[in-house]
Structure 1
Amino acid sequence: MAVTTSKSDWIDELNKPEVLESLQKLIEKLPDLTQKLDQADHLLSFGQSILHDSRTMDKLKLKLDSTNLDSNTLAAALRLLEKLPLLLELTEKLETIVRFAENVLADEKSVSYLQGSIKEYTEPICEKAIKAQSLYKEVQAKAEANTQHISIFTVLKWMKDPSVQRMLSYVQAMIDTMPKKS
């Protein structure tokens, strides 16, 4: 069923304030819209001329054939594009960290404070390592200098020593714990 609109209906419609305002805006923007339509027309003409130029199309086909563009590559590119917001956020955080590090390294007071803090943490470890090395060398020297034959009675005598008993209790605890952890 066709709808017929009379001339008076059109005039009534055009006399509405919102329609008049819209028409006025359209008329004001008409030169800009015409310019954009011309640009789009030029772009389409350029695209059509490229598509009809066999030499350009042959070069394009040759370049596409020499690349490994396939559906997997395009799917990966789309997945990468989806992750760009997260990558941007991480990059900005990394940039903030790098700038902070640069500022700290440029400030002599901060560098000396860092060196002091590192020294504070590493000194006790180094001291313990030096003591352990010294103890090892002393034990090694005594063991190499000892020419005495060790008998079962000597081992039984050691077993009465509290420090040996303590060490043996650690060994026993280790033996009891190991099967449970594996």
Structure 2
Amino acid sequence: MATSLSKQDWVDELDKLEVQASLQKLIEKLPTLTEKLEQVDNILSFGQAAMEDQHTMEKVKMKLDYTNVDIDTLEAGLRLLEKLPLLLQLTEKLETVVHFMEQVLGDQKSIEYLQKSAEGYLEPIQEKVEQGKTLWEEVQMKAEANTQHISVFTILKWMKDPSVQRGLSYVQALIDTLPKKQ
């Protein structure tokens, strides 16, 4: 619906304060807008000239042929762009964690507290390791000191021992289970 404004309608419109304020802002920004428009025009002219230049287009085509830029790559790039807000959030959280770690590592009291806490968790493990080491050394000493000849009858005698039977049942269970896992 095209309506033409009369001369009086234009004068009435220009008398409005908000229209005058908008026109004033537009006039103030005209040099900047003109400069931006010229920059866009230069970019478009350069793009058009590059597209029309056969030599340039052949180089671009050749370079694209040697890259793996295809529709899948472009789709992946777009999907990555969609995920940028989440990646930014994660990066900011990681940055916060790194900053926190820098603060903790720079504070001697915090380091001492962490060491004491870690020692509390590691002591039981260290005790178990020491017990295992002691047990191994004892077994090793007994094995080296044992000069008794081991015969088939000795092994048959050991087979009656409940602890040997329990150990052999674990070996049998392992033998039965391993082929199923492969």
AA aligned to 2:79 is R
Alignment partner, residue 117 of structure 1: 117
Aligned to 2:177: 178
- Cα offset for 1:100? 1.0
- Superposition map of 1:27-42 within 5 A: 27-42=23-38
2:79 is matched with: 79
- The question of 1:24 aligning with 2:20 is answered yes
Q: Which shows bigger deviation, 100-109 or 37-46?
A: 37-46
Whether the aligned pair in 2 keeps the contact of 1:158 and 1:164 (CA below 8 Å) is yes
Structure 1 residue identity aligned to 2:16: L
Give the direction of change, closer, same or farther, for the CA distance of 1:33–1:127 in structure 2 (3 Å limit). Answer: same
| CA RMSD after TM alignment | 4.1
In the aligned structure 2, how far is the partner of 1:129 from the partner of 1:6? 96
| 1:105 match: secondary structure | helix
In the TM superposition, what are the counterparts of 1:83-102 in structure 2 within 5 Å? 83-102=83-102
- Kindly indicate whether the alpha-carbon contact (under 8 Å) linking 1:14 and 1:20 is maintained by their aligned counterparts in 2: no
Counterpart amino acid of residue 147 in structure 1: T
Count of aligned pairs: 174
Measure, in 2, the Cα distance between the counterparts of 1:50 and 1:147: 95
Give structure 2 stretches of 5+ with no counterpart. none
The separation in 2 between residues aligned to 1:161 and 1:69, in whole angstroms, is 68
Deviation at 1:101, TM superposition (A): 0.8
CA–CA distance in structure 1, aligned partners of residues 179 and 81 of structure 2: 49
Aligned equivalents of 1:4 and 1:89: distance in 2? 51
Q: State the TM-score, normalized to the length of structure 2.
A: 0.66
**What displacement does 1:40 show?**
3.5
CA separation of 1:170/1:15 partners in 2, compared to 1, >3 Å: closer, same or farther?
same
* Aligned-residue offset at 1:135: 1.2
Alpha-carbon shift at residue 41 of structure 1 (Å): 3.8
How far did 1:158 drift?
3.9
Q: Is the 8 A contact 1:104 1:111 kept in 2?
A: yes
Q: Quick check: 1:150 aligned with 2:150?
A: yes
| Structure 1 length-normalised TM | 0.66
Report sequence identity in percent: 46
Residue 16 of structure 2 aligns to a residue whose secondary structure is helix
The answer to whether the aligner puts 1:46 opposite 2:42 as a matched pair is yes
Residues 1:29 and 1:142: Cα distance change in structure 2 (over 3 Å):
same
